[in-house]
Amino acid sequence: MNSCKEYTVVGQTRPTEQATGAGPLPDERGHFGIYGGRFVAETLMPPLNELNEAYQKYLKDPDFQAELDADLAHFVGRPSPLYFAERLSKQVGGARIFLKREDLNHTGAHKINNTVGQALLAQRMGKKRIIAETGAGQHGVASATVAARMGMECVVYMGEEDIRRQAINVYRMRLLGAEVVSVTSGSKTLKDALNEAMRDWVTNVDNTFYIIGTVAGPHPYPAMVRDFQAVIGRETRRQIMDMAGRLPDALVACVGGGSNAIGLFYPFINDTDVALHGVEGGGEGIDTGRHAAPLCAGSPGVLHGNRTYLMEDSDGQIIETHSISAGLDYPGVGPEHAWLKDTGRAQYAAVTDDEAMQAFHQLTRVEGIMPALESSHALAHAVKLAAGMDSDKIIVVNLSGRGDKDVHTVAALEGITV
Amino acid sequence: MSRIKGRFEELAQQQRKALIPYITAGDPQPDVTVPLLHSLVEAGADLLEIGVPFSDPMADGPVIQAACQRALEHHVTLHQVLDMVTEFRTTDATTPIILMGYLNPIEVWGYADFASAAATAGVDGVLTVDMPPEEAAALSAELGRHDIDTIFLLAPTSDEQRMELVSEVASGFLYYVSFKGVTGANRLDVASVGDKLQELRKHTALPIGVGFGIRDAESAASVASVADAVVIGSVLVGKIAELAERPTDIPAALSATVADMRSAIDAA
C-alpha cells in the first residue's frame, strides 16, 4: 500500500505526537488535529452555528435522548444482534468472527441510526424540509423514511450514475414520498450529489435541515453523525462481554465517508488493545489508480467543508473514484478517520471489487446472510485478518447493510438479467 | 499601499463606484483569458476578478460550474492562472487583480509558496469562497506578508457578531453576497441589500462590493447606489458559454455588456 505524503499546514504541527484520547475531539471549532473544521461559504456559517448550538443543547437533554432511544428501539429495531458467524469462522480457520447486524435495522442499513437522530433535531429546530445526498441510496432511503414518518418534505440529491446503479433504492425513496433529484454535474456520483445538496441548503437555509449521511462535512456534522452512530459500538461492547466475556481483539468496518466505522470504533477508542481496521474501496486495485481509497492512496486537502484525505491531483482538483460499491465511491473521508490514521490508532486497508464480490458470495452461501457490497469489503478484509490469527482471538465486523439493493449489480457482473 | 486600496481611494475621490467583472481563467480556452482581461479594462472595469477553476465549485450555480468544467478540459491549473496574471501585468501595471476560487488548489500548492508566487505574478487580492475567517489565519498571514489582501464574504445570514469578526480580519474590500443562494440565481433584492449594507458600515470602514444576481445595466446601477463596487460574473460567463465555439468574438461581446453597465453606473 502507498504511504501518504508528509503534510503540514502553516502554523500547525502534524498531530502525530499528540496521544489519542488526550482530550475530547473535535475541539470547539470541529478540528481533529489539522483535520475537520468548517470550510464553507459565509452564508452557511450562521446556520452551522445554529445547528451546533441546538445539537449541543439536545445532546444533554434527557427528553430528547429518551425520545431518540425510544425511536431506536421501536422504529429502528435496536439493539441489532451481534452474531457469531461460526461456519464462516471454521471455514477461514482462524479468529472467531462476529457480525454486528446493522443489516437488520429498519431500512436495511446503519444509516437510519443517524437520520432518526437528525430528524428529531430538525423537528426541535422547527425545520419543515429535509434534504440529503446519497450514494448507494441507503442514506437517501433512511432520510425519506424519517421524513415520511414525521410528515416533512424531503428532497434527495443523487448522482445520475448512482441512480442507474441503485434503481431499487430510487424507487423506494419515491414510494416514501421523497423527490429524488438526478445530479448530472461532474462525475455524477456521491461527491456531486453533495455539492448539489450544499447548493440547495445555501438557497433554502431558512426552512431546510440538511441531513448529511456520513461523518464528513463542516463541523458539527462529523461529530454529530459519529455520536448518533456510536450506538453501534456501545451495543457491541455490551454484547461481546455477554457472549465472550471480554473485548474483541479487532474491529473491522468499511469506510466510504466512514460513518459505520466510526460508529463501531468510537466507544473502543481508548481500549488500545482493540485494533481498529477501516477498509476502503480498492476498486480495480490501488496500483491502477482506479479506486476509492483516499486514506490508503490520497493526500490531505479541503473539500465539502472539511480538511481530510482526498483523492486529488497535483493541482488540487478532485479526481474520479471507482468502486463497485456506490456507498464507497467517494473521494473524501471523515476527518476523524484522517486523524486516526495519522495517530496510528486505526489502520486502513483497501479491498478490491473482486475480493469484495468473493466475500459477498462466501457469506451468502456459508451463513445465509447477504451483505451489502459496502459491508462485503469489511468482510473480505476480516477474513484475511482472521486467517492469520489464533482461534481464541475475536474479530467483530460491522455488517453495515444488507445486500438486497445490490442484487442487480451482482447479477449483471455474472451476465444475468434479473 | 495595495493596488486595491489605491483604486478604491481614487474612485472615492472621483465619486465613482467600482465595476468588477469576473471571468473564469481558461474559459473557454486558455489563450482567450489575457486579451479578454485587457478588453474588460478598456470597457470600464476598475478591478478584475479571475476565477480559478475547481472541480467542485459548491457555491456556484450552473453557469460558473460549466465554466470551470470548460477550463478544466484544458487542464488549467492554478500555476497557469498565475502565468496569465504575469502576462497581463506586462502591459497593465495598475488594474487590481483578485483571484477568486476554492481553497484546495492553494492547500495543495502550500500557503507560503502560493502567496509568494501570487505576489510575483502581480495578484492583489485572494477571495477563497470556502474559507471563512475561522479557518483563515494561516493563509491570511502568508498573503499579508506579500501585501496581498484577503477578501472575505458576508451574506444575508451574517449577524452583527459575524460582521464584526469578518471586519476584523478582512482587508482590501468586503464582498457582500446579495442573497441566499448560488452565483447566477435571479433573487436580487436591492432594498434589502441596502439595509444590510447600512448595518455593515457600522462595523467597517472598508469599501463594500456586492455580487450575485446582477444581470444588467439597470440592476448594476441600482446596486451601485448602495454599494462601493458592483461585481458581475454569471452574466458575462453565460455569454462566454454562448460564444465558446467562436472565441474571437468573446472580448467584443463582453466589452459591450461591461460598457453598458459602466455608463449606467456612472449616470446613476
pLDDT (mean) for A152-179: 94
Proportion of chain A above pLDDT 90, given as a percent: 89
Give dist(CA B21, CA B258) in Å, integer: 8
The one-character DSSP state at B232 is E
**Is residue A7 predicted with pLDDT exceeding 80?**
no
- What is the grid cell recorded at A61? 437533554
Helix (H) or strand (E) holding B21: strand B18-24
Helix axes A62-71, A111-124, angle to 10 degrees: 140
What pLDDT, on the 0 to 100 scale, is given for residue A4?
36
Q: How far is CA A71 from the centre of its chain?
A: 21
What pLDDT, on the 0 to 100 scale, is given for residue B169?
96
**Is residue A406 predicted with pLDDT exceeding 80?**
yes
Which of these, A17, A53, A82, lies nearest to A236 by C-alpha position? A82
- B130:A185 CB<8 A: no
Give dist(CA A332, CA A330) in Å, integer: 6
pLDDT (mean) for B49-63: 96
CB atoms under 10 Å from CB of B110, counted, come to: 16
Which of these, A197, A274, A283, lies nearest to A233 by C-alpha position? A274
In terms of C-beta density within 10 A (0-12 exposed, 13-18 middle, 19 or more buried), how is residue A361 classed? middle
Q: What is the SS3 string spanning chain A? A: CCCCCCCCCCCCCCHHHCCCCCCCCCCCCCEECCEEEEECCHHHHHHHHHHHHHHHHHHCCHHHHHHHHHHHHHHHCCCCCEEECHHHHHHHCCCEEEEEEHHHCHHHECHHHHHHHHHHHHHHCCCCEEEEEECCCHHHHHHHHHHHHHCCEEEEEEEHHHHHHCHHHHHHHHHCCCEEEEECCCCCCHHHHHHHHHHHHHHCCCCEEEECCCCCCCCCHHHHHHHHHCHHHHHHHHHHHHHHCCCCCEEEEECCCCHHHHHHHHHHCCCCCCEEEEEEECCCCHHHCCCECHHHHCEEEEECEEEEEECECCCCCECCCCCCCHHHCCCCCCHHHHHHHHHCCEEEEEECHHHHHHHHHHHHHHHCCCECHHHHHHHHHHHHHHHCCCCCCEEEEEECEECHHHHHHHHHHCCCCC
Give dist(CA A283, CA A290) in Å, integer: 6
Q: Which residue has the cell 443489516?
A: A103
Which of these, A195, A163, A180, lies nearest to A331 by C-alpha position? A195
Give dist(CA A361, CA A369) in Å, integer: 9
Proportion of chain B above pLDDT 70, given as a percent: 100
State how beta strands A96-101 and A82-84 pair: antiparallel
Answer whether B141 touches A (CB < 8 Å).
yes
Chain B residues within 8 A of A319 when measuring between CB atoms = 55
Chain segment A323-374, per-residue pLDDT in tens: 999 899 999 999 999 999 999 999 999 999 999 999 999 999 999 999 999 9
> A250 forms bridges with which residues in the sheet?
A275, A395
Dihedral of alpha carbons B258, B264, B266, B268, sign: negative
- B105:A191 CB<8 A: no
Give dist(CA A290, CA A331) in Å, integer: 11
* Residue from the list A41, A186, A302 with its beta carbon closest to the beta carbon of B55: A186
**Is residue A14 predicted with pLDDT exceeding 50?**
no
- A42:B111 CB<8 A: no
CB atoms under 10 Å from CB of A101, counted, come to: 17
Give dist(CA B147, CA B140) in Å, integer: 10
**Is residue A13 predicted with pLDDT exceeding 90?**
no
* Residue from the list B65, B72, B156 with its beta carbon closest to the beta carbon of A185: B65
Alpha carbons within 13 angstroms on the beta-carbon side of residue A128 total 3
In terms of C-beta density within 10 A (0-12 exposed, 13-18 middle, 19 or more buried), how is residue A390 classed? exposed
Q: Measure in Å the smallest separation between the Cα of A301 and chain B Cα atoms.
A: 6
CB pairs under 8 A between A and B: 135
Q: Which residue has the cell 469599501?
A: B207
pLDDT (mean) for A224-236: 98
Phi then psi for residue A351, to 5 deg, are -120, 135
**Is residue A22 predicted with pLDDT exceeding 70?**
no
Answer whether B154 touches A (CB < 8 Å).
yes
Chain segment B1-12, per-residue pLDDT in tens: 789 999 999 999
Q: Which amino acid is at B155?
A: A
Chain B residues within 8 A of A314 when measuring between CB atoms = 108
* Residue from the list A46, A304, A312 with its beta carbon closest to the beta carbon of B157: A46
**Is residue A165 predicted with pLDDT exceeding 90?**
no
Alpha carbons within 13 angstroms on the beta-carbon side of residue B74 total 21
Give dist(CA A104, CA A85) in Å, integer: 15
Most B CBs within 10 Å, among A27, A29, A32, A199, to test the B interface = A199
Kindly list the structural domains of chain B, giving each domain's residue range(s) and its CATH number in brackets, ordered by start. Answer: 3-10+17-263 (3.20.20.70)
In terms of C-beta density within 10 A (0-12 exposed, 13-18 middle, 19 or more buried), how is residue B202 classed? exposed
Chain segment B225-245, per-residue pLDDT in tens: 999 999 999 999 999 999 999
Find the range with the poorest average confidence among A15-19, A285-289, B16-20, B47-51: A15-19
- B130 a catalytic residue: no
Structural contact between residues B201 and B174, judged by C-beta atoms closer than 8 angstroms: no
- A133 a catalytic residue: yes
Structural contact between residues B6 and B46, judged by C-beta atoms closer than 8 angstroms: no
Find the range with the poorest average confidence among A1-10, A176-185, B26-35: A1-10
Which of these, A335, A90, A310, lies nearest to A191 by C-alpha position? A310
Give dist(CA A36, CA A308) in Å, integer: 7
- B182:A37 CB<8 A: no
Helix axes B62-73, B234-242, angle to 10 degrees: 50
Answer whether A316 touches B (CB < 8 Å).
yes
Structural contact between residues A204 and A44, judged by C-beta atoms closer than 8 angstroms: no
Give me the catalytic one of A280, A325, A400, A405. Answer: A400
User: Per-residue confidence at A308, pLDDT binned at 50, 70, 90?
Assistant: very high
**Is residue A1 predicted with pLDDT exceeding 50?**
no
What pLDDT, on the 0 to 100 scale, is given for residue A167?
86
Chain A residues within 8 A of B131 when measuring between CB atoms = 39
Give dist(CA B189, CA B178) in Å, integer: 8
Phi then psi for residue A102, to 5 deg, are -70, -15
What pLDDT, on the 0 to 100 scale, is given for residue B5?
97
pLDDT (mean) for A370-389: 98
* Residue from the list B108, B131, B132 with its beta carbon closest to the beta carbon of A314: B108
What pLDDT, on the 0 to 100 scale, is given for residue A15?
34
Chain A, nearest residue to B68 by Cα: A186
**Is residue A12 predicted with pLDDT exceeding 90?**
no
| A window 389-418, beta carbon within 8 A of B | none
> A129 forms bridges with which residues in the sheet?
A153, A208
Alpha carbons within 13 angstroms on the beta-carbon side of residue A137 total 31
Give dist(CA A169, CA B221) in Å, integer: 50
For the beta sheet containing A179-183, the strands, ordered from the edge strand earlier in sequence to the opposite edge, are: A179-183, A153-159, A129-134, A208-211
Chain segment B59-108, per-residue pLDDT in tens: 999 999 999 999 999 999 999 999 999 999 999 999 999 999 999 999 99
**Is residue A248 predicted with pLDDT exceeding 90?**
yes
User: Per-residue confidence at B268, pLDDT binned at 50, 70, 90?
Assistant: confident
Chain B residues within 8 A of A302 when measuring between CB atoms = 102-104, 107, 130
- What is the grid cell recorded at B167? 471586519
- A42:B77 CB<8 A: no
The Cα-based distances of A69 to A100, A231, A377, A399 in angstroms read: 19, 10, 30, 21
Answer whether B59 touches A (CB < 8 Å).
yes
Chain segment A63-100, per-residue pLDDT in tens: 999 999 999 999 999 999 999 999 999 999 999 999 99
User: Per-residue confidence at A23, pLDDT binned at 50, 70, 90?
Assistant: low
User: Per-residue confidence at A243, pLDDT binned at 50, 70, 90?
Assistant: very high
**Is residue A3 predicted with pLDDT exceeding 80?**
no
pLDDT (mean) for A173-181: 98
The Cα-based distances of A315 to A283, B31, B46, B100 in angstroms read: 23, 20, 30, 16
